[in-house]
Amino acid sequence: MRQTYPSDISREAFENVLPILERARKKTRPREVDLYEVFCSVTAVFKNGCHWRMLPKDDANWRTCHSYFQ
């Protein structure tokens, strides 16, 4: 379980974004990470202007977040 941060959105608000992200997904294999955590990590990079490698340790792996962002 990850800690909550000011840049996070609520799970209820994320439910509105999830269908858009799912349509863009290449369905090659089952997802291994929680997409909400990845989304919150990406918004943290945008809001704080931090580097990918400076994401908190309880977030998803920075490489995973960056590849989802790309």
Question: Rounded CA gap, 16 and 25, in Å?
Answer: 16
**How large a percentage of the chain has pLDDT more than 70?**
99
Task: List pLDDT tens digits, range 21-66.
Answer: 888 777 777 888 889 999 999 998 988 888 999 888 888 889 988 9
Locate 23 and state its tokens. Answer: 């349509």
pLDDT at 23: 82
The residue written with tokens 């943290």 in the block is 44
Residue given tokens 């799912």 in the structure block = 22
For residues 3-12, give the mean pLDDT: 88
- Model-wide pTM > 0.75: yes
Q: What confidence score (pLDDT) does residue 12 get? A: 95
